[in-house]
Amino acid sequence: MPHRAVPTAGTLLHARIAEQTAVLAGLEPDVRADAPDAVHRMRVACRRLRAALRPYGPPLAGLGRELRWLGAALGQARDSEVLGELLIAQARELPPDCEPQALAAALADWSRDRYVRAWPAVTAALDSPRYPALLGALRELADSPPEADLPGIGELARREQRRTASRLRKARRAAPGEESDRALHEARKAAKWARYAGETAGAPGERFTARMKALQELLGAHQDSVVAREALRELAGGADGQRAFGYGVLYGGQLAVAERARERLPEVWRKARKPPGFS
């Protein structure tokens, strides 16, 4: 059987850049129409492109910054949507004495208002001259692969895995409360970059990708609970007694979510820290 050549990191990253540039451009009509999940998918495309550009370092740092700008503009609306869905679903599961349906309705109104206020940032970004300039630069890059002396894709994945390990060690040393929460959020972002490196490797990276995705999602649940509790404190401060009680119960539920995430973290990380297993 003939030996099959292993694609270089440059070949894989170039394919990723071309693929995700097409995804980003193709999503624009759906995002403008506020189609379901379109903002989320465009935001993910921005992240995947940033991850593919990272190994090239300073020569492509400007493109990375523009993708971060676009992702941030999309993020305000998307984060409002995710937080609303999370709290509404939790509210509907509360016992009758918490008036779950009324609480869910109030949260739906609050979430919709946040989303509407965040939406102009999305359209402003797409209407900005920065957006077509970004697309043009990405398409040019997709047509003309950058030249760089890169390590193998497996080594790039291991770098992100080591970064994740470093941030988790920092989280373990952090003081309880806000310092620990911030450190775990930074570890989540590192796990996300490691996951994207695994995705870039294709089939050989599937197991590594799955393990890093599980870690990212666990840390994401923890971060969601942090953001949810901040919102619930604000909501409770402006609510009457019964509604404030309901928000307090939701707050307790989010504390439990964070605690469960912390309890599961050592086991999930034990699996995620395994060598990538691809070159």
3-state secondary structure 14-52: HHHHHHHHHHHHHHHHHHHCCCCCHHHHHHHHHHHHHHH
Closest residue by Cα to residue 161 from 43, 3, 275: 275
Total domains in the fold of the chain? 2
Residues 81, 83, 87: CA angle, nearest 5 degrees: 120
- Does one domain contain both 99 and 10? yes
Closest residue by Cα to residue 139 from 49, 205, 210: 49
What percentage of the chain carries pLDDT values higher than 70? Answer: 98
Residue 279 lies in a domain: no
Residue pLDDT, tens place only, 87-99: 999 999 999 999 9
CB 228 within 8 A of CB 85: no
What's the pLDDT band for 147 if we cut at 50, 70, 90? Answer: confident
Residue 228 lies in a domain: yes
Q: Please tell me the distance from the alpha carbon of residue 92 to that of residue 48, in angstroms, as a whole number.
A: 34
Look over the chain and give the mean of its residue pLDDT values, rounded to a whole number. Answer: 95
Residue 182 lies in a domain: yes
- Does one domain contain both 239 and 227? yes
Instruction: Take residue 177 and report the two structure tokens written for it.
Output: 């409360």
Q: Is the pTM of this model over 0.85?
A: yes
Q: Give the phi and the psi of residue 230 in degrees, each rounded to 5.
A: -60, -45
- Residue 205 sits in a domain whose CATH number is 1.40.20.10
Q: Count of alpha carbons within 13 Å of 134, Cβ hemisphere only?
A: 27
Q: Please tell me the distance from the alpha carbon of residue 95 to that of residue 138, in angstroms, as a whole number.
A: 51
Final residue belonging to a domain, choices 150, 177, 197: 150
Q: Where are the alpha helices (DSSP H) in 93-205?
A: 100-127, 130-143, 153-173, 178-200
Residue 276 lies in a domain: no
What's the pLDDT band for 4 if we cut at 50, 70, 90? Answer: low
- Does one domain contain both 217 and 139? no
What's the pLDDT band for 2 if we cut at 50, 70, 90? Answer: very low
For residue 229, the enclosing domain spans 151-271
